[in-house]
Amino acid sequence: MQKPERTDFDREAAGQTPGPAAPAPAAAIAHSPPSSGFSRPLGFNTILKSSSTGILTAAAFGCGSAPARPVTGRAEETTPGVPVEGYVRLAFNESPFGPPPGVQAAVEEMLGRPYALEYPDPGFLPGINRYPDFLNVELTDLAARRHGFSTRAVIVCCGISELIYMCSQAFLGTGKHLLMPEAGFQLPAHYAGRKGNPVRTAPLDRSHGIDLDALLDRTDGDTGLIYLANPNSPTGALLPREQLKSFAQAAERKSPETVVLIDEAYMDYVLESPLPEALSLVRNHRVVVGRTLSKAFGLAGLRAGYAVGNEELVLELNGFLSGYLGGDPGWRMFEGNVNRLGAAAMVAALSDEGLAYLETVRTRNAAQRNRLAEGLRGLGYDSLPSHASFVLARTDSDGENLRGFLCSRKILVQDGGSFHPRYRDWVRISVGSREDLDTLFEALQVYDPSVSYPAGFPVFYHGI
C-alpha cells in the first residue's frame, strides 16, 4: 500500500513542529484529513460546553484540536458526549437500517394526541403530558407472547443498561462479587465498582470466545452475579445453547444463590436456526436473559428493552426499576420507567409487522457484515468471524492510533484495547450503510501507522 506524503496536520498530530508554508503536493491535498478549523490539541477527557446552548464541538472529543478563538462557556473534566453531526458512527453498533416501518407512525400518533385536561369519553387516549403506563401492561404482554412466557416472567426496562443496573443492585449484596469475561461490555464492572463489590474476570479462550469452564472455576459461594453476553462483544463469538445450559446447571450446583445474567443484545442478528437463545433456561434456573430494541430493531435513541427470568427473580428486580417508589410488588407505587414515546415505539416494533421486518434486518446486516470483513481483508486487516453487527479486525499498528486517525477523518470506531489489553492491536467496527463503509475503506487506504494521532472520542464510551 503506497503511503501518502506527510502533511502539517500529520506532523502536528505527532507532536512535531509544522514546516514552513509551501504548496502541498496533490497527493497530500487529496488525502489530508478534513479541515476542522482547530489548531491545538485538547484532551479527550475535556468537554467544551456553551453556557447558553450546551453545544458540543468536535474538539471536545479530541477529534482534531481546540478552537483558536476563545470559547464561550467553560471547560470541564466531566463525562463527555458523543460527536454526532458529520461523523460516520461505526463505534456504537447502531442500526443503519432504521426501525420497523410502523414505529414512526406510532410515535407521531402519540405526539399528536390532544392535551385534554379532563377525560371527555371512555375512549380518551392520554398523550405525552400524562405519565406512562405504570405497569407497562401492553409491552409486557407483547414481549411475553413473543417468547411464550407468562407476563410475570417479563420486566420492561430502558435498554439492557437499566437491566444491568437493576441486577447489580438486586444480586450484588455485601461480600458478593461480580464474575464476567475479561473482554466484554464494561458496564457491569462499572456498576459493581460503584457499589464497592469486587469484580472477578475469566480469560477468553484461544478462539476468542467466552470460556465457560474458566468462569465456572471462578464461581463460588460469594459470586452474586455472573454476567456474559451472547454473542459477545467485542469478538462477536456465539455460545451454543447446550453449553450455556450445562454451565447454568453447574453454576447452580456450585453456588445455588448465584444469578446468571445473559445479555442477548445481538441475538437478533444471529442467522442460525433455531436461535441459540438462553430463554429456555430461565424456567428452572436462576437465569435472567436481557433483550434490547436498541440494536436490530433500530431504537437506540429511545432506550427500550426487556428481560425474561423466573418469576421469583423478576419480582425481586421490580423493586429496582427506575421510578419504583416502594410498596408491595403486587401493588406498586411506580411512576413508570419507559416513557410514552419509547413505549409506543416498542409496541409497534414487537407487532407482527415489526417482527417480520426484523428478518429483513438480519439478512441485510449479514450482507453488510460480509462486505465489511471482505473490504478490510482487501486492505490487509483480518477480522474474526462475527455473529453480531460488528467485526473485530487486527491492525498493523496500535488500535488506539488507528481510532485516532479515523476520528480525525470524522469516522468513529472502537479500539480493542478499550475492552482488554489483549486486543490493543485490534479495532471493533460496526456494520454501517454502504456509504459509511465506502468512506471507511477510502480513509484506510491512506492510513500511515508511523504517524501518531490524538486518542479520539472519550474513553468513557469504551467497551460499549
Q: Distance (Å, rounded) from C-alpha 121 to C-alpha 115?
A: 14
Nearest CA among 258, 277, 259 for reference residue 267: 277
pLDDT mean values, one per 10 residues, the chain (464 residues)? 39 40 35 32 27 31 34 35 76 95 94 72 74 84 95 93 95 96 94 96 96 98 97 96 96 97 97 91 94 96 94 90 56 65 95 95 98 97 97 92 93 92 96 97 96 69 50
Q: Which helix (H) or strand (E) holds 357?
A: helix 352-378
Query: Can you list the positions of beta strands (E) in 12-137?
Result: 38-40, 46-49, 66-67, 74-77, 88-89
Three cell numbers at 8?
Answer: 502539517
Task: State the DSSP code for 290.
Answer: E
Q: Does domain 88-98+360-461 have CATH number 3.90.1150.10?
A: yes
Residues 6+ apart with CB under 8 A from 235: 183, 204, 208, 209, 384, 386, 392
Task: Give the distance from CA 224 to its chain's centroid.
Answer: 24
pLDDT attached to residue 136: 84
pLDDT attached to residue 241: 94
Q: Distance (Å, rounded) from C-alpha 405 to C-alpha 63?
A: 9
Q: Distance (Å, rounded) from C-alpha 345 to C-alpha 103?
A: 5
Three cell numbers at 141?
Answer: 404482554
Please state, as a whole number, how many other Cβ atoms lie within 10 Å of the Cβ of residue 360.
11
Q: Distance (Å, rounded) from C-alpha 308 to C-alpha 327?
A: 22
pLDDT attached to residue 336: 62
Domain extents in the chain: 8-77, 88-98+360-461, 101-350
Three cell numbers at 234?
Answer: 467485542
Three cell numbers at 218?
Answer: 471462578
Buried b (16+ CB within 10 A) or exposed e, 337-347: bbbbbbbbbbb
pLDDT attached to residue 114: 81
Three cell numbers at 265?
Answer: 443484545
Residues 6+ apart with CB under 8 A from 399: 415, 416, 417, 423, 424, 425, 426, 427
Q: Distance (Å, rounded) from C-alpha 152 to C-alpha 143?
A: 11
DSSP SS3 for 79:
coil
Q: Distance (Å, rounded) from C-alpha 91 to C-alpha 211?
A: 25
Phi, psi angles (nearest 5°) of residue 229: -115, 140
What separation in angstroms does the CA of 382 have from each of 203, 235, 269, 351, 409?
A: 22, 13, 21, 39, 22
Please state, as a whole number, how many other Cβ atoms lie within 10 Å of the Cβ of residue 369.
23
pLDDT attached to residue 52: 31
Cα Rg, the chain, nearest whole Å: 24
Q: Distance (Å, rounded) from C-alpha 299 to C-alpha 408?
A: 28
Name the pTM for this structure.
Answer: 0.80
Q: Angle at which helices 352-378 and 434-444 pack, to 10 degrees?
A: 20
pLDDT attached to residue 359: 95
Q: Angle at which helices 137-147 and 340-349 pack, to 10 degrees?
A: 30
Task: State the DSSP code for 295.
Answer: S
Bridge partner list, 156: 306
Nearest CA among 434, 448, 21 for reference residue 8: 21
Topology of domain 101-350, CATH: Aspartate Aminotransferase; domain 2 (3.40.640)
Three cell numbers at 345?
Answer: 415505539
What separation in angstroms does the CA of 432 have from each of 98, 126, 459?
A: 11, 37, 22
